[in-house]
A and B are shown apart, each in its own frame.
Chain A
Amino acid sequence: MANVRLIARLDVKGPNLIKGVHLEGLRVIGDPQEYARRYYEQGADELIYIDIVASLYGRNNLTDIVRHAARDVFVPMTVGGGIRSSDDVRDLLRVGADKVAINTAVVKRPELITEVSRRFGSQCMVLSIEAKSRGDGRWEVYTDCGRERSGLDAVEWARRGIELGAGEILLTSIDREGTRKGFDAELTRAVASAVSVPVIASGGYGEPRHLAEVVSAGADAIAVADALHYNRTTVPQLREAAQAQNIPVRAV
């Protein structure tokens, strides 16, 4: 089995690192640059930045944040929020992003997935899926930071997104996000078994056993946000916890 990636996820609003519960009730945590540098120094395998209100206001303020981060961070950075065109992608790659995560814009216009993957490679096009359980063993895709229902089934949308050219899936459970109750393992299993590309599980980390649960459900990477931001854990502690549960991770 390949090494599971431990990813620090930073949700930003304007110039601030923020955190909410179920993608709502946002609280300001601090300067994203400071946190990004800390996670890099701690040995995070990757960073994910999401501007969580960008699509609501139709703007993109991540360029400055990414440009700053790229000065000190020498691990891959995935960036999302408010991306609407392949030119937006180009602008983010130019300032140091390695991949982009797109949700709302590709739900509205799925061809954008193909445009981005043709122009920059599929490895660059991360399909961001924010999903909520319908209670019948299926999950619905939400857009605009968990506010708008799309009517799409998360598993079918994942499959279609890969056909269109996405090279990775960032799978956020809105139900679990910010709750510390563990990742949505069933959602992860349903999506990971439907697609042939890596799946990043996001939303719900609370304690070490949650890592093993979501990895056995098929996650290739794990994104952790507030547990790191609030210092309930650190990247080295996550790595040790993974190793203790026989989850392969890179040695730092």
Chain B
Amino acid sequence: MSKARVTVVDYGTGNLFSVQRALDHCGADVKMSSKTDDIVAADRLVLPGVGAFADGMKGLRDRGLIEPLLQFAATERPMLGVCLGMQMLATTSEEFGQHQGLGLIPGRVRQVPTQAVNGEPNKIPHIGWSEISPASGGTWKETMLENTTAGTPVYLVHSFHLIPDDPAHLLADCGYGGHRVTAAVRSGAIVGAQFHPEKSGKEGLKMLTAFLRL
């Protein structure tokens, strides 16, 4: 069987090596690229990223990658945004001002609640392992979570999260201080993970393997 091919978008931010290594470990043929042609023609695409929203969007804009990403998304081939790469799928973000995102999953990126439901302070950033559940009874079938059991802990590190306009786009969430925080979103073949599958141990690798089979 030939290796599943995946293109990881290199836009000058984030830690690409970990994503590359994890996909490699899962048996993928990984290509890192910031070229329009590679992105538009990719079999499947990963948009990684850590850091601030505005910097991430600027990285994409400066390299002329916004249009190619939108073109790729229109092909309905599998696409995975991770952490900041997930947040940039949204319409707007409120991190350090108002910023435009890619608009692939209508919604807003907002701050994780700084206060728990019981009134105690929530530590921000939210760092650590949280158990993810299917949001509002939605299904994980035909997504990278299809082999994952509800309640599986994954690694998150973030201060903001994406709230989709359409609740049907919420794929998974997790609890933090009594609030529900977005863990993953989905619209068609586009999935965004707030958590880091590449840093979520064996369960995370299982998700990446499932993504490579989509």
Do chains A and B stick together as partners?
A: yes
User: Taking the nearest CB of chain B, how far is it from the CB of A6, in angstroms?
Assistant: 10
Query: Is residue A161 within 8 Å, beta carbon to beta carbon, of the partner chain?
Result: no
Q: Is there an interface contact between B125 and A168, defined as CB atoms closer than 8 Å?
A: yes
**Given contacts A76-B155, A76-B157, are A97 and B15 in contact (CB under 8 A)?**
yes
Query: Is residue B106 within 8 Å, beta carbon to beta carbon, of the partner chain?
Result: no
With a cutoff of 8 Å between Cβ atoms, the chain A residues found around residue B16 in the complex are 94
| Interface residues on chain B, number (Cβ under 8 Å) | 37
Docked complex: A163-179 residues within 8 A CB-CB of B: 167-168
User: Taking the nearest CB of chain A, how far is it from the CB of B50, in angstroms?
Assistant: 6
Q: Interface 1/0s, chain A 68-80, versus B by CB < 8 A?
A: 0011001110000
Q: Which of A45, A93, A252 contacts B128 (CB 8 A)?
A: A45
Q: How many A-B residue pairs have CB under 8 A?
A: 99
Q: Is there an interface contact between A220 and B128, defined as CB atoms closer than 8 Å?
A: yes
Q: Interface 1/0s, chain A 42-55, versus B by CB < 8 A?
A: 01010000000000
Q: Is there an interface contact between A124 and B201, defined as CB atoms closer than 8 Å?
A: no
Q: What are the 6 closest A-B residue pairs judged by CB atoms, nearest first?
A: A250-B153, A250-B129, A121-B51, A123-B125, A123-B157, A93-B15
| Interface residues on chain A, number (Cβ under 8 Å) | 34
Q: A121–B49 Cα gap in the complex (Å)?
A: 11
Q: Is there an interface contact between A70 and B18, defined as CB atoms closer than 8 Å?
A: yes
Q: A97–B123 Cα gap in the complex (Å)?
A: 22
With a cutoff of 8 Å between Cβ atoms, the chain A residues found around residue B157 in the complex are 76, 98, 123
User: Taking the nearest CB of chain B, how far is it from the CB of A107, in angstroms?
Assistant: 23
Q: Is there an interface contact between B18 and A43, defined as CB atoms closer than 8 Å?
A: no
Query: Is residue A96 within 8 Å, beta carbon to beta carbon, of the partner chain?
Result: yes
With a cutoff of 8 Å between Cβ atoms, the chain B residues found around residue A124 in the complex are 50-51
Q: Is there an interface contact between B125 and A197, defined as CB atoms closer than 8 Å?
A: yes
With a cutoff of 8 Å between Cβ atoms, the chain A residues found around residue B15 in the complex are 93-94, 96-98
Q: A54–B25 Cα gap in the complex (Å)?
A: 31
Q: Is there an interface contact between B198 and A74, defined as CB atoms closer than 8 Å?
A: yes
Listed A/B pairs (7) with beta-carbon separation below 8 Å: A2-B123, A74-B204, A76-B199, A121-B51, A220-B127, A220-B128, A221-B128
Q: A118–B55 Cα gap in the complex (Å)?
A: 10
Q: Interface 1/0s, chain B 10-21, versus A by CB < 8 A?
A: 000001111001
Q: Which of B50, B123, B199 contacts A75 (CB 8 A)?
A: B199
* Majority SS at the chain A contact face: loop
With a cutoff of 8 Å between Cβ atoms, the chain B residues found around residue A221 in the complex are 128
Q: Is there an interface contact between A168 and B127, defined as CB atoms closer than 8 Å?
A: yes
User: Taking the nearest CB of chain A, how far is it from the CB of B67, in angstroms?
Assistant: 26
With a cutoff of 8 Å between Cβ atoms, the chain A residues found around residue B177 in the complex are 2
Most buried by B among A45, A97, A119, A121: A121
**Given contacts A75-B199, A123-B157, A124-B50, are A196 and B17 in contact (CB under 8 A)?**
no
Q: A82–B52 Cα gap in the complex (Å)?
A: 25
Query: Is residue B60 within 8 Å, beta carbon to beta carbon, of the partner chain?
Result: no
With a cutoff of 8 Å between Cβ atoms, the chain B residues found around residue A198 in the complex are 123, 125, 127-128
Q: Interface 1/0s, chain A 24-43, versus B by CB < 8 A?
A: 00000000000000001001
Q: A119–B128 Cα gap in the complex (Å)?
A: 22
Q: Is there an interface contact between A196 and B123, defined as CB atoms closer than 8 Å?
A: yes
Query: Is residue B110 within 8 Å, beta carbon to beta carbon, of the partner chain?
Result: no
